[in-house]
């Protein structure tokens, strides 16, 4: 089967278009080229997606080899299309056709024509991902634990400082600690490839510049910096509140005098979403819980029911239902047959207008209910633009795709919606309940903003050459200390590579999209709530059952990337720019509460760096305590004493 596919795709590449001559200006030939490209692109991209799905759901060496071969074939197809597209005179085209041609020529690292180097780039990327997805940590107890669900559970549920430290530092050793050299090779190979691309399309100085070009805004770096400055006061107050509560749990001696929070104490492996701390940080105790996990279990929710609930939301807006293939081919829970799979939730478009899937190792939790809505938002976007040419089947910019699922979750997580679908008995309308709800949302939406901003700040510096390999870890922690207000609980070493402990670094996935999405989803939410006729605070809006809101959202989604993102933004919001004011309006009651609680106790020193002696001593003491506790517990449970 595979050999037949290889032959078919090689023929497709070698016979593509066959256009002769230079600077072709005939509109008839423009269209003929585009029609041919669209037909061929649907075939090759669909095939590559299918092979990638097979590997992601069954991580064997055999499936990896097939995937790497398929990536090379897709690269050859892209290169051939690119070469033929450069023969056309873009200056005489309509804006839409010119946009299509530019997207066809924008082939990224596939511009590398040295097949050996391109194959090696793909292998380096695959090796880093494999290190990440297969990593397991040996805990002091002797247990060998993977990230999901075990280490994730420890970071979320344990309040034992030493246990958290063992999981946190072990994960960094088993992931980033094993891929630093690979990452340096990836940077060099990726930069070389995008510079080749720049000879005929845009002058990309490096991979970071290439990634930023997707936003089609010359001032993009300045724009996101200004957005970060808009939200900084809210994050600073949330950070201060969390720091004070965590000191009550772990003791002042575990916290540096600089005002930073040790990075392993915030509820997840990357200190980016603090939702696991909701019990400790909820301001008003004794109020009805906003975590519907127990109620979902009581009502016998299953992974399928979770996704059916998500689909019901989109159908209530008059939007598209999931096709049959979605239900037949998606993977909604971790297989029990021992296969190694990539559990990171993802949505998949197979580019044939029929096949759309989600891969998610779903647990029966409120968080996974929200994640299901988010991932289905990606699918809804793809269903809406599926009739666009292949080159336009994407979000208006990378942040748009992430924002669409999240804007739905802003309605889904309200008390009003949870009551509507029978997961809470009634809606509390008092001020204290509002503050509790907004705290819960801030621990999900606001806590992630600094790291979503700084990850690509770090990577852009690496790609530019400002940060050489020997400075990778130092600069990573400089940025985390400055923007996120967190510090490493262990001594830093130039041989370490803590960035590699983050999936999007290992996988080579740009991350600024998540910062953008967290900003613009509140712009989207405000516009949709106004269309739905909502009256009252923005954080109480649920657009469920509003066909008017669904129609407005669909009008933007069906554009795909056929228009520059400011035009797509205008269709939905009436604005051409990203703006953090709707986000700040949403959280205004919480910000007022936090300022009253914190007084002048907020902020941190921007350049804190843990001294080696201090952090080593802290680490050793914590690990020793954990080992002694674990051994003692084991001895007692086995009745040795």
Give binding residues for chloride as ranges: 215, 513
Catalytic site includes residue 504: yes
Half-sphere exposure of 387 (CA within 13 A, CB side): 3
Compute CA distances 531 → 253, 539, 541, 550, whole Å.
Answer: 52, 15, 11, 9
Tokens representing 192?
Answer: 């070389």
Closest to 525 measured CA to CA, from 385, 383, 417? 417
How big is the CA angle at 507 (ends 506 and 508), to the nearest 5 degrees?
95
How many angstroms separate the CA atoms of 362 and 97, rounded? 42
Compute CA distances 165 → 262, 447, 616, whole Å.
Answer: 10, 20, 12
Beta-sheet strands, E only, within 425-495:
486-487
Q: Which residues are annotated as a binding site for Zn(2+)?
A: 374, 378, 402
Tokens representing 348?
Answer: 């998949």
Examine residue 242 and say whether the peptide bond preceding it is cis (omega within 30 degrees of 0).
Answer: no
Sign of the four-CA dihedral 627, 632, 637, 641: positive
Catalytic site includes residue 525: no
DSSP notation for 105-170 = H--GGGG---HHHHHHHHHHHHHHHHHHHH-EEE-TTS-EEEIIIIIHHHHHH---HHHHHHHHHH
> Which one of the listed residues 504, 525, 534, 539 is annotated catalytic?
504
> Which one of the listed residues 129, 163, 375, 380 is annotated catalytic?
375
DSSP 3-state of 315 = helix
| Residue 145 bridge partners (DSSP) | 137
Burial class (CB in 10 A: 0-12, 13-18, 19+), 269: buried
Q: Which residues are annotated as a binding site?
A: 215, 374, 378, 402, 513
What residues are annotated to the active site?
Answer: 375, 504
């Amino acid at each position: 089967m595979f050999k037949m596919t290889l032959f078919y795709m090689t023929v497709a590449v070698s016979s593509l278009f066959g256009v002769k001559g230079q600077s072709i200006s005939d509109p008839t030939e423009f269209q003929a080229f585009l029609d041919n490209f669209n037909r061929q692109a649907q075939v090759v991209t669909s095939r590559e997606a299918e092979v990638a799905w097979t590997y992601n759901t069954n991580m064997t060496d055999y499936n990896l080899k097939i995937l790497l071969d398929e990536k090379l074939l897709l690269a050859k197809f892209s290169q051939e299309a690119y070469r033929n597209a450069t023969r056309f005179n873009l200056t005489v085209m309509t804006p839409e056709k010119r946009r299509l041609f530019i997207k066809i020529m924008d082939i990224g690292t596939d511009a590398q024509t040295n097949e050996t180097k391109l194959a090696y780039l793909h292998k380096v990327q695959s090796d880093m991902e494999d290190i990440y997805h297969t990593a397991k940590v040996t805990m002091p107890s002797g247990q060998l634990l993977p990230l999901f669900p075990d280490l994730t559970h420890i970071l979320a549920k344990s309040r034992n400082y030493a246990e958290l430290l063992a999981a946190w530092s072990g994960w960094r050793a088993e992931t980033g600690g094993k891929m630093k050299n690979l990452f340096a090779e990836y940077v060099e190979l990726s930069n070389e490839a995008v510079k080749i691309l720049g000879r005929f399309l845009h002058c990309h100085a490096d991979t970071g510049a290439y990634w930023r070009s997707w936003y089609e805004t010359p001032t993009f770096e300045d724009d996101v910096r200004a957005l970060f400055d808009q939200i900084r006061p809210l994050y600073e107050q949330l950070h201060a509140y969390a720091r004070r509560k965590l000191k009550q749990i772990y003791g002042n001696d575990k916290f540096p005098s600089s005002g930073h929070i040790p990075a392993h104490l915030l509820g997840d492996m990357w200190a980016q979403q603090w939702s696991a701390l909701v019990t400790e940080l909820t301001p008003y105790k004794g109020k009805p819980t906003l975590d519907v996990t127990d109620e979902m279990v009581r009502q016998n929710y299953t992974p399928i029911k979770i996704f059916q609930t998500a689909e019901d939301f989109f159908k209530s807006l008059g939007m598209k239902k999931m096709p049959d293939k979605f239900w037949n081919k998606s993977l909604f829970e971790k297989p029990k047959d021992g296969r190694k799979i990539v559990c990171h939730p993802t949505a998949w478009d197979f580019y044939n207008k029929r096949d759309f899937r989600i891969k998610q190792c779903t647990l029966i939790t409120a968080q996974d209910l929200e994640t299901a809505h988010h991932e289905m938002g990606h699918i809804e976007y793809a269903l809406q633009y599926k009739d666009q040419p292949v080159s336009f089947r994407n979000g208006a910019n990378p942040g748009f795709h992430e924002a669409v699922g999240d804007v739905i979750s802003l309605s889904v997580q309200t008390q009003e919606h949870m009551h509507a679908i029978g997961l809470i008995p009634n809606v509390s309308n008092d001020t204290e309940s509002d503050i509790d709800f907004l705290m819960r949302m801030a621990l999900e939406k606001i806590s992630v903003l600094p790291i979503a901003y700084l990850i690509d700040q770090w990577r852009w510096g690496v790609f530019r050459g400002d940060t050489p390999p020997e400075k990778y870890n130092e600069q990573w922690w400089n940025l985390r200390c400055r923007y996120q207000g967190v510090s490493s609980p262990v001594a830093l070493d130039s041989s370490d590579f803590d960035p590699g402990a983050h999936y999007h670094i290992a996988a080579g996935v740009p991350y600024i999209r998540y910062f953008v999405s967290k900003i613009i989803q509140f712009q989207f939410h405000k516009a949709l709530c106004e269309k739905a006729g909502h009256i009252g605070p923005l954080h109480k809006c649920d657009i469920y059952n509003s066909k008017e809101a669904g129609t407005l959202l669909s009008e933007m989604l069906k554009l795909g990337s056929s228009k520059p993102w400011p035009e797509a933004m205008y269709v939905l919001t009436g604005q051409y720019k990203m703006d953090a004011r709707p986000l700040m309006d949403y959280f205004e009651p919480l910000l007022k509460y936090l300022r009253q609680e914190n007084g002048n106790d907020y902020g941190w020193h921007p350049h804190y760096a843990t001294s080696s002696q201090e952090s080593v001593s802290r680490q050793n003491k914590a690990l020793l305590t954990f080992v002694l506790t674990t051994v003692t517990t084991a001895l007692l449970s086995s009745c040795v004493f």
